[in-house]
Amino acid sequence: MRDDPAALTHAGLETRLHALQKRAFELYEDAALRAEADPARAEAAYARAEEDAAPLIAEARALNDERVRRLRRRARTWRWLAIAIAIIGATVIAWLVLRTP
């Protein structure tokens, strides 16, 4: 992995993820073309593609883990904000109800 995923922006994470996916798909497409051209060596072509794609897949997993971590943190923040707003709203309504003659 080239950079720390935590140091990347959201757009940087998405860009890197898409680039890794594209490269992995290219490896498998090339393997499919080689297998089609030489069916006797199809298994070797796919094994080579799997071997070449393994580091790409590992990096993509790390990037995706960082993306999920960020999304969970954002969801947790929004949940706490919603709870705080609900409590404040309920308090204001109770105050208004108690204040009215």
Q: How far is CA 70 from the centre of its chain?
A: 9
CA distance 64 to 16: 10
Q: What digits encode the pLDDT tens for the residues 10-19?
A: 899 999 999 9
Structure-model confidence comparison of residues 59 and 101, the more confident one: 59
> What's the half-sphere exposure (Cβ side, CA atoms, 13 Å) at 98?
6
Task: Look at residue 100 in the predicted model and tell me its pLDDT.
Answer: 84
Residue 4: band (very low, low, confident or very high) from pLDDT cuts 50, 70, 90: confident
Tell me what the mean pLDDT of segment 57-71 comes to.
95
Task: Look at residue 2 in the predicted model and tell me its pLDDT.
Answer: 61
CB atoms within 10 A of CB 12: 13
| pTM given for the model | 0.75
Q: What digits encode the pLDDT tens for the residues 16-54?
A: 999 999 999 999 999 999 999 999 999 999 999 999 999
At 80, the amino acid letter reads: W
Of 26, 27, 23, 18, residue with least CA distance to 51: 27
Please report, for residues 4, 25, 46, 71, the alpha-carbon distance to residue 18 in angstroms, rounded to integers and kept in the order given: 17, 10, 22, 18
